[in-house]
Amino acid sequence: MNFSSLLKRSALAAVLLAIAASPMSSGVKREVRSVWMATVWALDWPSSTSSTTAQKNEMVKYLDVLQKNNFNAVYFQVRTMSDAFYKSSYEPWSSYLTGTRGKDPGWDPLAFVVEECHKRGMECHAWVNPYRFSTGSNWSTAQDQALKSAGMLLAYTKSDGKTTTILNPGLESVRKRIVDVCKEIISNYDVDGLVFDDYFYPEGIPVTSSAGDYDLWQKSGASMTFGDWRRNNVNQMVADVYKMVQQQKPYVRFGISPAGAACTSAAVAAKHGIDRCPVASDWQYDGIFSDPVAWLEAGTIDYISPQLYWKTNHKTNPFGPMTKWWSYVAKHFGRHHYASHSISFLNSSNTTSDWEEIGKQVQFSRDYTENEAPGAVFYSAAYVTGKKQSGFGEWLQVNKFQNKALTPAIDWKKSDLEKVQVSALNKRATVLSWTGVDNVRYSVYAVPESVNVETLDSNIPAEYLLGVSYKTTYTMPDDKKSGYNYAVCVLDRYGNEYEPVYYGQSGVECIGGNSGLTADYADGELRLSAVADEVFVYNEAGALVANSRNCNRLALSVQAGMYIVRMIGNGGVSTEKIIVK
C-alpha cells in the first residue's frame, strides 16, 4: 500500500486532532519514551566541572525523575566533538567534564549512567556525533594532534568567519576510526543502543573546486557526482558501523536521528521506490549530504528518529503528516520510527496548552504507527525533568505515560533464546526473586487478585506492568505488596517477551526474620541456603522434617504448606517461617 492511499484512508484531520487532544488509555505497552541527554556545551549535563559528587548527584536526579514519569530509555551523549565521556583508547576526555580537554575526571560517566539506568529498568543508548571535531576551538591534545598529522580533518569557514572542522567522510581511515570508536563503546559497556545525531557534512560546504574535499573526490575517479559521492561516503560509514554492531552485539539497537524533512523530491523518492513526503522541504540531501531513506532501504539501521521539530499546526511542516510519512517509510523497509520532538519552546512558554501540543504529537505517532512500534524522544532532558522548566514531565505521566511501557521488539533479528521462562519465583516481603538466564532482562507484573489470570494470554496488559529488571530481583512499590498476583517474564535484549511465570504457581515465600536465609521451590523440591552450623526444618504441626549439620545448603522433598526453619550459628539462634506454594 502506498502513502497516498494511506492518506485517503485516514480519518478527517479534525477528528484526529480531537482524538489526539484526549488522554490516551492505559493500553500502550510498546513505545520508546526517551530524552536526548545533551552534554555538548553542557546543555543538559553536567552543570559543574569541579565536583564528581555534584555531577553524579545531578545525573541521579535526572534519572529518578524520568523513572517516576514512566520513561524507559535515555540517549546519553558520550561523544560530542571527537571526545569521550568514557574511558577511551582513541579519544581525549571531554572538556565538558572538567573544563580541560584530555583531563581525566577520575571516574567513568558512561559506566555510571548505564548502571544507574539499568537500576531503574531503563535502557541507555550511547549518543555519538560521528564526524564533528571542532566548531572553532583549536584542540591540541595528543589524540587531536595525531588526527591533524594524519590529514584526517576537513574544515569549512563560513562567511561570518566561523570554522567548522569534521573528520573527513571521504577517507577510509576516518570510516575505520568511527567504527573503532563505536566498537570500543559497545564492547566495553553494557549499552542497549547506539545512536547518531544529524551532523554529517557542514551545512553550506561548497560543491565547487574550492571545497576542501574536491581533490579527494577527483582522485576517487569522479564516477559519481560530487553530491552523490559525499552521500555515499556517509552511507558507507553507516553500513560499516552497522556491520560491526551485528558482529559484536547484534541486540544493540543502532539508530540515527536525521533532520526531519527528507525525500520531498519526487526523483529521490522514486530512486528509493517510495512515495515522497507530501509536506516540508528537504534541505539535508544537498545541504549536509544526508539521505536517511538510503539507510532504511539498505537495512543498515534499526531505527530512525527524525527530528520533527515542528508543531501540529505548522503551515509547511505540520507534525502529523510528517510522522505519518516516516511511519510509512519505516514500515516499508521493515524498521522502526521513533519521532524526536523539540520542546525547547517551553523555555519561552510553559503552559498547559503547550504541554497539550506535545501530547498531540505523541498521540499522532501512536495513531500512525504501522508496526505497533511508536516512540517519542524529547530534546532535551532539561525540559522534561524540571531543570529548565517544570511541570511537563509530570503532565506527561498523568496524561500520556500513565503506565510503564516496554520498548518495541527488534523482531526482524533472531534471538538465541527459544521458549524460556524464569524458575523458582519467590517472594520475601516486597521483594520478588527468581532464577533466570544470562544476558536478558525481565518484565514484572502485578495483576489484581480480582482479575482471573487464566483469562489473560501471555501478553499481559500494560496497565499491570510494574517495570523492567536487569537483575533476578525486583522490589515492589508499597502499594503493590499485597492483593496482587505477581508475574515475571524473560525479556531478551532484542525486546522479545516470553511466557510469564506467576508467583504462587509454585514457589516459596519467606515471612519474618532477617537471617539471610534464601529458599526456592521447584519440581517438588525445597532448596535452602543459610550461613549456619546447623539447620532444622519443622512442618506446621511442629514435627521435624529435616536436619543438616555443618552444611550451608539443604534440599528436601516437601508438599505445599508452611514450614519453620531454625538456624544455629555464631550469631545465635534465628527462626524463619516459609510458605511453600
Helix residue ranges per DSSP H, 249-283: 266-272
* Predicted pLDDT of residue 17: 40
* Predicted pLDDT of residue 550: 67
Measured at the alpha carbon of residue 343, what is the angle toward residues 339 and 344, in degrees to the nearest 5?
A: 135
Residue type, 494: Y
- Neighbouring residues of 336: CB distance < 8 A, sequence distance ≥ 6: 32, 302, 303, 304, 330, 371, 373, 375, 408, 410
Q: What is the DSSP letter of 71?
A: -
* Predicted pLDDT of residue 16: 40
* Predicted pLDDT of residue 408: 98
Q: What is the DSSP letter of 69?
A: T
Contact 310, 318 (CB under 8 A): yes
The CATH number of the domain covering residues in 423-502:
2.60.40
Q: What is the rounded distance in angstroms from the CA atom of residue 32 to the CA atom of residue 48?
A: 30
How far apart, in Å, are the Cα atoms of 517 and each of 430, 544, 545, 559?
A: 16, 18, 17, 20
Contact 464, 447 (CB under 8 A): yes
Helix residue ranges per DSSP H, 38-92: 52-68
Contact 332, 297 (CB under 8 A): no
> Does the N-terminal peptide bond of residue 23 adopt cis geometry, omega within 30 degrees of 0?
no
* Predicted pLDDT of residue 215: 98
Q: What is the rounded distance in angstroms from the CA atom of residue 165 to the CA atom of residue 129?
A: 13
Q: What is the rounded distance in angstroms from the CA atom of residue 184 to the CA atom of residue 125?
A: 14
Residue type, 346: L
Q: What is the DSSP letter of 345?
A: G
Identify the residue whose cell numbers are 551532523. 199
CATH architecture of 508-580: Sandwich (2.60)
For residue 562, what are the β-bridge partners? 579
Q: Where are the domains of the chain?
A: 3-130+189-200+253-399, 423-502, 508-580
- Neighbouring residues of 349: CB distance < 8 A, sequence distance ≥ 6: none
Nine-digit cell string for 150: 594524519
Nearest to 86 by CA among 117, 107, 65, 116: 107
- Neighbouring residues of 491: CB distance < 8 A, sequence distance ≥ 6: 406, 440, 441, 442, 443, 468, 497, 498
How far apart, in Å, are the Cα atoms of 167 and each of 56, 131, 172, 301, 491?
A: 31, 5, 11, 21, 38
How far apart, in Å, are the Cα atoms of 330 and each of 255, 292, 338?
A: 12, 11, 10
Residue 217: exposure state from Cβ atoms within 10 A (0-12, 13-18, ≥19): buried
Beta strands in 209-355 (DSSP E): 253-256, 303-304, 336-337, 339-342
How far apart, in Å, are the Cα atoms of 62 and each of 12, 36, 215?
A: 39, 12, 47
Backbone torsions φ then ψ of 262, nearest 5 degrees: -150, 155
Nearest to 312 by CA among 359, 349, 366: 359
The CATH number of the domain covering residues in 3-130+189-200+253-399:
3.20.20
- Neighbouring residues of 547: CB distance < 8 A, sequence distance ≥ 6: 534, 535, 536, 537
* Predicted pLDDT of residue 470: 99
Q: What is the rounded distance in angstroms from the CA atom of residue 436 to the CA atom of residue 389?
A: 41
* Predicted pLDDT of residue 14: 35
Nearest to 555 by CA among 572, 573, 530: 530
Q: Cβ of 489: how many Cβ atoms within 10 Å? A: 25
Q: Please give the chain's pLDDT, 581 residues, in tens.
A: 565 555 544 443 333 444 444 433 447 999 999 999 999 999 999 999 999 999 999 999 999 999 999 999 999 999 999 999 999 999 999 999 999 999 999 999 999 999 999 999 999 999 999 999 999 999 999 999 999 999 999 999 999 999 999 999 999 999 999 999 999 999 999 999 999 999 999 999 999 999 999 999 999 999 999 999 999 999 999 999 999 999 999 999 999 999 999 999 999 999 999 999 999 999 999 999 999 999 999 999 999 999 999 999 999 999 999 999 999 999 999 999 999 999 999 999 999 999 999 999 999 999 999 999 999 999 999 999 999 999 999 999 999 999 999 999 999 999 999 889 999 899 988 999 999 999 999 999 999 999 999 899 888 999 999 999 999 999 999 999 999 999 999 999 999 999 999 997 656 777 766 667 877 777 778 888 888 888 999 999 999 999 888 667 788 898 888 899 998 887 788 888 888 87
Q: Do domains 423-502 and 508-580 have the same CATH topology?
A: yes
Q: What is the rounded distance in angstroms from the CA atom of residue 51 to the CA atom of residue 68?
A: 26
* Predicted pLDDT of residue 22: 41
